[in-house]
Amino acid sequence: MDASCGLDDTEIEALRQQFGANLIAEDPPGNFAGLARDTAGDPMIWFLLVTSALFGALGQYTDMAVLLLAIAPLVGMDFYLHHRTQASIEGLRSVLAATATTLRGGVWAQLPAERLVVGDLVQVTAGQNIPADGVIVAGADLQAEESSLTGEAYPVSKAALGTGALAQDSNWGFAGTRLLTGDAAIRVIFTGPDTIFGEIVHSAIGGPPGRTPLQNAVARLVKWLLLAALVLCLLLAAVRLWQGFGAVDAFLSAAALAVAAIPEEFPVVLTFFLGVGVYRLARVKVLVRRGVAVENIGRVSVICSDKTGTITEGRLTFAEALPAQDMSIQELMETAAMASRAQSGDPLDLAILENSPAIQDGWTRTALFPFTEGRRRETACWQSAGGAQRCVTKGAPETVLALCDMTDAARTQWLDATSVLSAKGQKIIACAMQDTVCAQSAEPTAALRFAGLVAIIDPVRRGVSQAVAEARLAGIQVVMVTGDHPQTARAIAAQAGIAEDGLTILGDDLEQTLARLTPDELAQVSVVARASPAQKVLLVQAFQSIGKIVAVTGDGVNDAPALRTADVGIAMGQRGTRSAREVSAMVLMDDNFATIIAAISEGRQLFRNLRMSFAFLLMIHLPLVASAALIPFLGFPILYLPAHIVWLELLIHPAAILAFQTGAGSLSENHADDHGGAFFTPWQWAVIIGTGILVGAGLLAVFIMALSGGHSIEQARSMALVCLVMALATLVTILAPRRTTARNAVVAAGFASALLLVQYGPLAALIHLQPVAWPNWLAAAAAGTLPALASILLKTGIISPSRLSRTRP
């Protein structure tokens, strides 16, 4: 590619084939087909169709019409949700650039933004949207508005990337953001779904990929309940026929029981909540790549975090130099510079080179032995134009000092100096040299001349100490895992607020130390220094072996094993490698530790909302199923006709999905309720089942006493339905996390429907009910409301054994 002319047609086609078109928010394929398929899979729809056909065959056309009309709101709800998704897509598109000014074949041309490819050079002027993610290569006095990615509306300063420099946030332009001031030339690096905005869009629209363990568990539960419902329905139909009620009554009794017993809401609610989790996590700058992360993130009890770029800014700067006695600072920095490489992109090398004199002309590097985790040093061999030879080494002080020609006392003195500098939170690099001939196949490993120590600092990110304090208050153990010197690691940990009195372990000693630590002692570990990727895996496995849910952060290929082993692997979005992102369940868009804490808070609130929604479904279905089965078995006329089931389902579905949606507060407010992995504790199961039984008993009592007191079957049904609907409204009021518009709307709809459909004669007649005297209406409402108040024990944990024994951190 000729940078001055842009891409040619052959390059463009090859790049488009490799990376795809720049389509960020395209419609998911088969939207309407999928919607129709999901709607057709709703058992309520088939129940209404079959039952309305039966009424039509019997000549009961009013009932048939009522049931067919009832299909409309059910299908309408699906289409409304679909419309909201489409509106969201259009809203996302509105912040994207439609066209882009691009250099092609030496000519600047305006093209549709979707035709951009990686490598294109685009021109963006003030007020225009940036069409793809890329590096700014030219421009001055630049500011961008990035609220679509960060949620912050203030301008962000941007600058062109300097020659040989490592790209920072300020050098990037992102798709979905807008240039506010200046004119920028941007070299496109990522297009379409590979852009940060594209990943957010596809995560939010597509939902979490794959089925989660909780989804599989719910699917198994539904399968068994379906089988039990089928057997019970056949038995009920046979009993009704034996009792002499006729085939139509037998069918309606069995059908009503089937619809009441089939727990189709559970998988629907779970899928919806997981989708909401993806969206909310994206809003706090976390992309979900594995559905299991939405479940696990709120249950995390240990975070094993990288230091560089996550706890710290990841921006190394020169702090100080301490030369050996026979060396000057300039000679020390020259040595450090010769052992560094600008082209490596290593921030450590760049920090050294920025504060070192230029390497003298005539010197040529003849051999290089790069840094590795095992060697912990880097050596370069140089030759001058005059034939002089020099080998330079930089690396971990204990490693480099062991190679130097010095007394044990001197070595100890320099190690002590290393400890002093490390205690300030500085990263210490030792440098050494040797004027000797260097073979390309072997580096010098003895008799080096010590040059001194260079201190580099990576400041702790703003807000990290507050996030760590919040995590500790919420009972989450934070462990910083780093390759740094122990003193440096402890100093940074102290600045970040990670337990200063915690246990620090060296990576080389990790396996033996973990083998002898008790669970209580393991809970005191706060720093692992001089750690290798393999040792990081051992640490994760040790925590998992005592029942902890572990989140791990990583950015490199060598972090992939630990990311894969963790319950929640979190890759760095800005500096993470593709390999790290591929094996991770989540990606941090801003590489910030505080974002992990925000994600855990969202996850905890999501899981609590889901638990309360499921508790509500169980509490309302228990009396519904019990009354649908017991009343016909006892020989009474059937309680629920198809229209009544429709009425109840139109209240239950929105309540379970919408009334329990609440955003997260601070993590310290959202303490964990993991219960060792169980969805409900035995105490909570007791409250759920007990509440269901109480409501069911009140419902049966109201219906049977109404019939026994001489009321018509229509009036008895009216009172029973008022009882159940008021119980539903009470359960939503108590169990929904906070006052929300959706919760209030569901409660109001329940109360209004219990008044309107029962007390307004024409509507009541349509669904085979009759208005009842107000004292009877109020008594029925009380019979539903009072037993449902028992559900408050689930939310407050009053007299709960688990609450009494729990100790808060």
Q: List pLDDT tens digits, range 769-795.
A: 999 999 999 999 999 999 999 999 887
The fraction of the chain above a pLDDT of 70, given in percent, is: 77
Q: In whole angstroms, what is the distance from residue 456 CA to residue 428 CA?
A: 6
Token pair for residue 692?
């269901």
Confidence of residue 200 (pLDDT cuts 50, 70, 90): low
CA atoms within 13 A on the CB side of 17: 6
- The whole-number average pLDDT for the span 189-205 is 72
pLDDT at residue number 207? 47
Q: How do beta strands 550-554 and 568-572 pair?
A: parallel
The fraction of the chain above a pLDDT of 90, given in percent, is: 21
Residue 253: which H helix or E strand, with range? helix 247-261
Q: Find residue 305's DSSP bridge partners.
A: 480
Q: How do beta strands 449-457 and 133-138 pair?
A: unpaired
Confidence of residue 511 (pLDDT cuts 50, 70, 90): confident
Query: CB of 210 within 8 A of CB of 290?
Result: yes
Residue 203 has pLDDT above 70, yes or no: no
What average pLDDT does the chain have?
A: 79
Crossing angle of the two packed helices 642-658 and 593-633, in degrees rounded to 10: 160
pLDDT at residue number 710? 87
CA-based end-to-end distance of the chain: 60
Helix count and strand count (H, E) for the chain: 30, 23
Query: CB of 155 within 8 A of CB of 124?
Result: no
Amino acid code (one letter) for 1: M
Q: How do beta strands 172-173 and 133-138 pair?
A: antiparallel
Residue 88 has pLDDT above 50, yes or no: no
3-state DSSP assignment of residue 385? coil
Query: CB of 55 within 8 A of CB of 68?
Result: no
Task: Return phi, psi of residue 168, to 5°.
Answer: -105, 175
pLDDT at residue number 46? 62
Nearest to 455 by CA among 528, 397, 531: 397
Query: Rg of the Cα trace of the chain?
Result: 34
Q: Find residue 102's DSSP bridge partners.
A: 109, 122
CA atoms within 13 A on the CB side of 7: 20
Q: Which of 255-264, 282-291, 393-402 has the lowest mean pLDDT?
A: 255-264
Q: In whole angstroms, what is the distance from residue 195 CA to residue 177 CA?
A: 12
- The whole-number average pLDDT for the span 348-373 is 85
Tens-place pLDDT, residues 677-698: 567 888 888 999 999 999 999 9
- The whole-number average pLDDT for the span 661-689 is 69
Query: Sheet of 107-112: strands edge to edge?
Result: 107-112, 99-104, 121-124, 184-190, 133-138, 172-173
Token pair for residue 64?
């048939």
Residue ranges with strand state E in 637-770: none
Q: In whole angstroms, what is the distance from residue 275 CA to residue 81 CA?
A: 12
Task: Return phi, psi of residue 425, to 5°.
Answer: 85, 15
Tens-place pLDDT, residues 271-299: 777 777 777 787 778 877 776 777 788 88
3-state DSSP assignment of residue 129? strand
Confidence of residue 30 (pLDDT cuts 50, 70, 90): very low
Top-ranked range on mean pLDDT: pick from 77-91, 395-409, 529-543, 590-604: 395-409
Q: In whole angstroms, what is the distance from residue 307 CA to residue 480 CA?
A: 6
Token pair for residue 767?
């669904």
Query: Sheet of 586-588: strands edge to edge?
Result: 286-288, 586-588, 568-572, 550-554, 302-306, 477-481, 525-529, 503-506
Residue 406 has pLDDT above 90, yes or no: yes
- The whole-number average pLDDT for the span 662-666 is 63
Query: CB of 606 within 8 A of CB of 273?
Result: yes
Residue 5 has pLDDT above 70, yes or no: no
**134-172: burial string, b at 16+ Cβ within 10 Å, e else:** bebbebeebebbbebbeeeeeebebebbeeeebeeeebb
Q: Which of 62-76, 343-357, 515-529 has the lowest mean pLDDT?
A: 62-76
Q: Find residue 382's DSSP bridge partners.
A: 365, 390
Token pair for residue 312?
């710290």
Query: CB of 194 within 8 A of CB of 19?
Result: yes
Confidence of residue 601 (pLDDT cuts 50, 70, 90): confident
Token pair for residue 460?
């702790």
Could you tell me the sign of the dihedral formed by the alpha carbons of 66, 69, 75, 79, in that order?
negative
Q: In whole angstroms, what is the distance from residue 255 CA to residue 267 CA?
A: 21
Confidence of residue 1 (pLDDT cuts 50, 70, 90): very low
pLDDT at residue number 40? 61
Q: Is pLDDT larger for residue 587 or for residue 575? A: 587
Nearest to 186 by CA among 115, 140, 130: 130
Q: In whole angstroms, what is the distance from residue 515 CA to residue 126 CA?
A: 60
Q: Is pLDDT larger for residue 738 or for residue 351? A: 351
pLDDT at residue number 804? 35
